[in-house]
Chain A
Amino acid sequence: AQSVTQPDIHITVSEGASLELRCNYSYGATPYLFWYVQSPGQGLQLLLKYFSGDTLVQGIKGFEAEFKRSQSSFNLRKPSVHWSDAAEYFCAVVTATDSWGKFQFGAGTQVVVTP
């Protein structure tokens, strides 16, 4: 069955420290991968996306993600976290076989930033 897994429900990180959020997927077809961020009570904002080409993708707000086909992973990273990065982060996948684009979302990772 197709699935998207974010193994970490909650992560606490100190301001200025590095952050890595994990995302694993299980799909037979070529995946198109996305990371979104959600502040409390708000909609989701796209951080970055991967379709093809360079497996290291740069996004907004200083985030980057690396696609590793062999590990079926698309982990999100940021070298130095700011207090404003406290939010919930969602990994999403869609494949070319979904003619209308059925996005599958992970359960999300809540990030808390401490002083």
Chain B
Amino acid sequence: DGGITQSPKYLFRKEGQNVTLSCEQNLNHDAMYWYRQDPGQGLRLIYYSQIVNDFQKGDIAEGYSVSREKKESFPLTVTSAQKNPTAFYLCASRGGTGFTGELFFGEGSRLTVL
């Protein structure tokens, strides 16, 4: 089945370590997104990518980095510069054409800093 796969589902990190969250999609979507979810704050956009080898900062990009070397993959690295990384991270891609496509989400990755 087509969809978005995020891994790992749970991740623990020591302070000062970088970690990378994987996001793979087989929906043949051009646009991909990373969101951070904290209780009571909805979803906040970290980075987005419209096409391969291009990505843009979202609202809360500080302390994060991404790459888009393949259409199917959009990994997110949480660096040691991110001061409060404990959160639920959601990857999404956008289907449809023009402005009418909705977001398709992965199952999420929960990162906990020890």
Q: Which residues of A contact B (CB under 8 A)?
A: 4, 9, 32, 34, 36, 41-46, 49, 51, 90, 92, 94-96, 98, 100-103, 105-108
Query: Is the pair B107, A103 in contact by a Cβ cutoff of 8 Å?
Result: no
Q: List the A residue with the shortest CB-CB distance to B94.
A: A101
Any A CB within 8 A of the CB of B105:
yes
Q: List the A residue with the shortest CB-CB distance to B50.
A: A100
Any A CB within 8 A of the CB of B63:
no
Query: Is the pair A102, B41 in contact by a Cβ cutoff of 8 Å?
Result: no
Stretch at the interface among B14-22, B75-83, B96-104: B96-104
What is the minimal beta-carbon distance from B89 to any residue of chain A, in angstroms? 11
Q: When chains A and B are docked, how far (Å) is the Cα of A13 from the Cα of B31?
A: 37
Complex contacts, B31 vs chain A, CB 8 Å = 100-101
Any A CB within 8 A of the CB of B48:
yes
Q: When chains A and B are docked, how far (Å) is the Cα of A51 from the Cα of B90?
A: 24
Any A CB within 8 A of the CB of B61:
no
Q: Name the interface residues of B25-51: CB closer than 8 Å to any CB of A.
A: 31, 33, 40-43, 45, 48, 50
Q: When chains A and B are docked, how far (Å) is the Cα of A100 from the Cα of B93?
A: 12
Complex contacts, B42 vs chain A, CB 8 Å = 4, 90, 105-108
Query: Is the pair A34, B108 in contact by a Cβ cutoff of 8 Å?
Result: no
Q: When chains A and B are docked, how far (Å) is the Cα of A103 from the Cα of B33?
A: 10
Q: When chains A and B are docked, how far (Å) is the Cα of A102 from the Cα of B43?
A: 12
Query: Is the pair B45, A102 in contact by a Cβ cutoff of 8 Å?
Result: yes
Nearest 10 Cβ contacts at the A-B interface? A43-B105, A105-B42, A105-B43, A107-B42, A44-B105, A43-B107, A96-B99, A51-B100, A100-B50, A46-B102
Query: Is the pair A100, B90 in contact by a Cβ cutoff of 8 Å?
Result: no
Query: Is the pair A43, B106 in contact by a Cβ cutoff of 8 Å?
Result: yes
What is the minimal beta-carbon distance from B46 to any residue of chain A, in angstroms? 12
Q: A101-B94, A102-B45 are in contact. Are A107 and B99 (CB under 8 A)?
A: no
